[in-house]
Structure 1
Amino acid sequence: MFKDDFALQSPLAAPVRQGLPWIQAAHGAPYFQTEDGEAWHPIGANEAISWRELSGLFRRRDLASADAYLADLAANGVTTLRLMLEYAQVRHRYFERPAGRFPRAMVQLWDDLFALCQKHGLRLLLTPFDTFWTWLHWRHHPYNRANGGPLAHPSEILLCRETRNAIKARLEFAVRRWGGSGTLFAWDLWNEIHPAQAGETAECFPEFIADLSGHVRRLELSLYGRSHPQTVSIFGPELEWRAHMPLTEPIFRHPDLDFATVHVYQMGTIDDPRDTIAPALDMARHVRAHLAEITDGRPYCDSEHGPIHTFKDKKITLPEAFDDEYFRHIQWAHLAAGGAGGGMRWPNRRPHRLTPGMRREQAKLAAFLPEVDWLSFRRESLDVGVQAAGEVHAMACGDERQALLYLLRGDAVTPDGMVDANAAPLDVAVSVPGLADGAREVTLWDTAAGGGRARFVAESRDRVCRFTVPGFTTDLMVALRPAR
C-alpha cells in the first residue's frame, strides 16, 4: 500500500520504535499512567505544524528552532502537544497529495517531530484531520472529487464508504510509521465529530467510531502487541444546542474508546470572556456535567478551549495579563472538578501561541501534581461548603480518602475583569463532605505564586472535614489526603 519513496531512510527520519513508556488509562482510577505504573497527566495545548514554532520542520528548514521550542515546553512542565496530522489552513501541508500518496516532505516532518518530542520527553495527542479548515478550504483538498479524491462534499465525509477507506488508509500509514512509539500518547480518531459531516444526522457516529477504532487497534495489536488510548472529540456547545440528537452516548460511553474529550467553548464566558472568573466556573460546570455522563470511570479531559469568539470573530487579542489569569483560573478549575490535567488551550492569540505567563502557569500545575495519589483517586464531584465575609467560589472533587478543592474569589474584581490581588484578605471556613473519618493533611497551594503556602492537619468527623483557610485573597488550590 505504501510506496518506499515516501518512507525516508536517514537515521533521524527512521520511524521511532523505542523510547518513552506508553501511556494507558490507569487501572481503577479515572486518570492516566505510564506502562511503568507512574501517574501521568496531559499538560499542554494545541499546536499546528504550520504555526511559527514548528514551521521550521517543513523541509527541515529550521530544526533548531523547533528543537528549542520543544525544550522550552518540557522545561515548563508540558507533557503533551495536541496536533493534527494535516493542518489544512495552508495548502502545502496536506498529508496526502493526491489522495493515497504521502508526500516525502510531510513524512520527514513527522519523523523529525516524533524524534524531537522523544528527545524532550513530550508526547502527542494526534488526530488525522483538521476538520475545520478541511471544510472551509474544501475546494483545495485532495479528498475533493474535483481534485481526484473520493468525496463530493465534506457534508458526507462520515457516510461515504470510499472516503472511509481513505481515512483508514491514512491512519494505517501513521500507525505503521509512528505507532510503535511511546511518544504517541493517544489517538483522537476524529476531531470535532459533527452532524454536519453526516447530512445533519448523528445515528452513524457509533458505527463510524467503531470502524476507525477497530481498524487502528487491530493493527497496533498485530504490530506491537498493545495499543494506544483512543478518543473522539466534539465541539462542546453542540451537546447543548443539539440535545435532541444522540451525541452523548458515542462521546462519553462508546465501548471502543478509552477516554472522553470535549472542546469546552462556553458561549459568552470561555469563548468571549469579560472577566477571569465566569470562564473558570463554566469550565468546572461542564467538567461536572460531562463526568456525570461517564458510567465506566474512564478518564476525561478538555482538549480545546479558549477565547475563540473574541479572537476569530471580533479580531481581538486579549491583554496578556488578563489572558494569563483567565488561563490560570480555567486550568485549576478543570483539574479540581475532576479532569485530567489542566485542559488544552487553543491559543487564539496573535502571534498564535501561548504566552510565557501561560507556560509558567503550566509549570505550577505540574509542580502541584505530586500532592495527590492519582492512581488511587476515584473522584466524584463534591459540593463543598464555604463561608467567608466575601464571595468565594469552590470547585471540588474527591473520594473517601482524598479531595481537591479550588477556591476562587468572586467579590473583588477590578474594572478590567481581573481578581484584585490587593483586596482585603478573607478567612474562609471550608467543609468538605464525603471523606472517611480520620486525620487529613491539608495542603494550601498558592496558584498565583506557585508552591505550597501551608500544610496542617484537620480532622474529618461524621464524613465531613472542616478547616479554615486564613488570609485568602485571589485563588488557591487545596489538596486533602490521609495524614502520614
Structure 2
Amino acid sequence: MGSALHKAHGAEPAGQAAAGLSWVQVAPGAPYFITDQGQSWTPIGQNDAVTWPDFAGLFQRRDRAAVDRHLAWLSAHGVTCLRFMLEYCQTENRYLERPVGHFQPNMVRFWDDLLALCEKHSLRLLLTPYDTFWMWRRWAHHPYNQALGGPCRRRNQWLLCPATRQAIKNRLSFATARWGGSGALFAWDLWNEIHPAQAGNDTAIFHEFISDISQHLRQEEERLHGRSHPQTVSVFGPVLGQYPSVAEVIFRHPQLDFASTHFYDKATIDNPRDTVASAICTGRLVREALAHLDPGRPFFDSEHGPIHAFKDRKRTLPEPFDDEYFRHMQWAHLAAGGAGGGLRWPYRQPHALPPGMRAAQRRLASFTKLIDWPTFRRRNLSAELKLSTSAVTGFACGDEAQAVVWLLRQDQRDRQRLVPKNAPAVSVQVRVPGLGPGRYQIVCWDTRAGRPTGQLTATAAAGGLLLHLPSFVTDIALAVRPQPGPAADHS
C-alpha cells in the first residue's frame, strides 16, 4: 500500500529522499537522550497540530514556504521537538484514513512535506497516531466508527476490539513504512492519553495492549529500517491518582523506552492564579514520576497548560502572565529531573506560542549546553536542598558529579500575580547534597535574560556542596560541574 501511494503522489517517503539527520536514542546508562552519533539531544518544544496557524499552510501546499520559514525560526530559538498527532479530529477534513484503511492523499502529502522540512532544519517529531480527545468527543463522525463502516461499535471498546487493534497496527505499519526511515522522527507516543474509559472502565488490558502494539511497530521498524525509534505511551496525569495501577504500565512497562505524562492539576496548572504555585506543582509531579522509574529511563511532561482557563472558562491568559507561567514551569521541570522543559499545549487564541515563550525556550536551550547529559545519572533532590531563607523555593536534581538547581522567589507577588521585578534582592545560601568530594564550578544563570551572571567555585564535603549565591530578585539557575583540572576527584 505504501509503495503505491509513493508512486501516486510522486514523492519518496521521508528519510529515503533526504537521509542524513541522525536518529535519537536513550543514552546508555543515563535518563536522557543522544543522537546515534553520540551527541546530547534535549527535547525542547511544544505540541502542534495540522490545523493550527503555524502549520495550516502545509495542507494542500497552500503556503509551504511559510511553514519552512516558521521551522527555521523555531530551530533558531532552540526548539528541537514538536509533538504532533497524525490526524486532528476537531474538524471533518483532517482524518488520516477515510474510510478506514484508505490513507488520504492530502494528509499523506502533508506529512511527506513536514518530515522533509524538519530534516532540513534539524527538528524532530514526537508522533502519536490518534487524536483521542476529539476522536472521543466526535465519535459519531470518526471513520473508525462501525456505523460509518469502521471497525469499532463503541468508543469504550477501542482498546478491546480486535478489529480496531488491527486497524491501529495497519496505521502504524503505513506510517513507519513511509516516514519511519527519517531521523526527523524522534519517537512514537503509541497511544495518546490512554484511559480506562477506552476499555470499558478497566485497566486490565493496558499492559497487553501496549505490549502488542509496541512489539508490532518495533518488528516493522527493524524489518524496514534495521532499528526502531524510541517508544512511550502518554497519560492524562490525574488518571494516575484515580487509577494507581496505571503507573505500572506508564512508567515501568518493559517495552517502553521512556515515560511521559500530561501535567494537569486542578488547583494550579489548569487555571493558574499566580506563576509560582504551578511551578511548585510541576516540580512535585516530576519528583513523583521519577520515584516510579528505573534510574536509567528518561521522563518528560509531553503536554501541559491552562486547560480549564482556556477550554471551560473561555479565557486566554494575559501574555505577560502566561509567559512567566510558562517559563517557571519549564525551569521547574528541567531542574527537578525531567528531560527538557516539557511540551506546552498552547491554549491561546490564536493557537500558537507567543514570542515571549519562544524566547524562554531559546534561553533554556542555551543553559542545557552547560550539563553533560549523557553521563548525568540524576535523582531528584528538591526536598533535600537546604536553603537559608523561606523567601525562596528550590528545585534540583543531581548525581555524584553534576547538579542542576533552580531557585524561585515565592514570598512576593505584584498586582498581576507575577513575581515582582522591583522587589529587594534576596541573598541565599544553598546546600546541594549528593555530590562527591572535590572542587566544583558553578555557573549562575539568569533565566529571564538567558545568560550567565557569574561563576563560582566551591568544594563539596561530607555534608554536600555549600554555596553562597549572589543576590537575585526573581530566580536563578545553577549548573554544577566538576572544576576542570587534575585536582578534581569525583570517583
TM-score of the pair, normalised by structure 2: 0.96
Matches within 5 A, 1:8-407: 8-11=8-11, 14-17=13-16, 18-243=19-244, 246-382=245-381, 383-388=384-389, 391-407=391-407
How has the CA–CA distance of structure 1 residues 461 and 177 changed in structure 2, closer, same or farther, with 3 Å as cutoff?
same
Deviation at 1:136, TM superposition (A): 0.7
In structure 1, list runs of 5 or more residues that go unmatched.
none
Is 1:444 aligned with 2:444? yes
Alpha-carbon distance between aligned partners in 2 of 1:19 and 1:104, rounded to the nearest angstrom: 26
Please list the CA deviations of residues 75-131 of structure 1 after superposition, one character each: whole Å capped at 9, or x if unmatched: 100001000001111110000000000011111110001011111110000000000
Moved more, 411-420 or 187-196: 411-420
Please list the CA deviations of residues 234-272 of structure 1 after superposition, one character each: whole Å capped at 9, or x if unmatched: 0001111233xx201100000000000000111121111
* Greater than 4 Å deviation, 4+ residue runs: 5-9
Please list the CA deviations of residues 299-332 of structure 1 after superposition, one character each: whole Å capped at 9, or x if unmatched: 0000000000000000000000000000000000
Total equivalences in the alignment:
480
Which residue type is aligned with residue 428 of structure 2? Answer: V
> In the alignment, what sits opposite 2:423?
423
Alpha-carbon distance between aligned partners in 1 of 2:59 and 2:467, rounded to the nearest angstrom: 55
In structure 2, list runs of 5 or more residues that go unmatched.
485-491
Deviation at 1:343, TM superposition (A): 0.1
Decide whether the 8 Å contact of 1:6 with 1:107 is kept in 2.
no
Please list the CA deviations of residues 44-88 of structure 1 after superposition, one character each: whole Å capped at 9, or x if unmatched: 000000111111111111111111111111110000100000111
Which residue type is aligned with residue 363 of structure 1? Answer: R
Decide whether the 8 Å contact of 1:446 with 1:453 is kept in 2.
yes
Please list the CA deviations of residues 150-207 of structure 1 after superposition, one character each: whole Å capped at 9, or x if unmatched: 1111110000000000010000000100001100000000000000000000010000
Q: Secondary structure at the match of 1:65?
A: helix
Alpha-carbon distance between aligned partners in 1 of 2:421 and 2:8, rounded to the nearest angstrom: 54
For the aligned residue pairs, the C-alpha RMSD in angstroms reads 1.1
Decide whether the 8 Å contact of 1:8 with 1:107 is kept in 2.
no
Deviation at 1:7, TM superposition (A): 5.1
Moved more, 462-471 or 94-103: 462-471
Decide whether the 8 Å contact of 1:187 with 1:229 is kept in 2.
yes
Alpha-carbon distance between aligned partners in 1 of 2:68 and 2:473, rounded to the nearest angstrom: 39
How has the CA–CA distance of structure 1 residues 8 and 479 changed in structure 2, closer, same or farther, with 3 Å as cutoff?
farther
Decide whether the 8 Å contact of 1:16 with 1:111 is kept in 2.
no
Decide whether the 8 Å contact of 1:6 with 1:104 is kept in 2.
no
Is 1:482 aligned with 2:466? no
Which residue type is aligned with residue 392 of structure 1? Answer: V
Alpha-carbon distance between aligned partners in 2 of 1:133 and 1:466, rounded to the nearest angstrom: 51
Which residue type is aligned with residue 230 of structure 1? Answer: Q
Alpha-carbon distance between aligned partners in 1 of 2:476 and 2:296, rounded to the nearest angstrom: 27
Which residue type is aligned with residue 278 of structure 1? Answer: A
Q: Secondary structure at the match of 1:352?
A: coil
TM-score of the pair, normalised by structure 1: 0.98
Alpha-carbon distance between aligned partners in 2 of 1:164 and 1:276, rounded to the nearest angstrom: 42
Deviation at 1:415, TM superposition (A): 2.2
What percentage of residue pairs aligned between the two structures are identical? 54
Alpha-carbon distance between aligned partners in 1 of 2:14 and 2:238, rounded to the nearest angstrom: 38
Which residue type is aligned with residue 406 of structure 1? Answer: W
Decide whether the 8 Å contact of 2:26 with 2:34 is kept in 1.
yes
Alpha-carbon distance between aligned partners in 2 of 1:258 and 1:309, rounded to the nearest angstrom: 31
Which residue type is aligned with residue 227 of structure 1? Answer: S
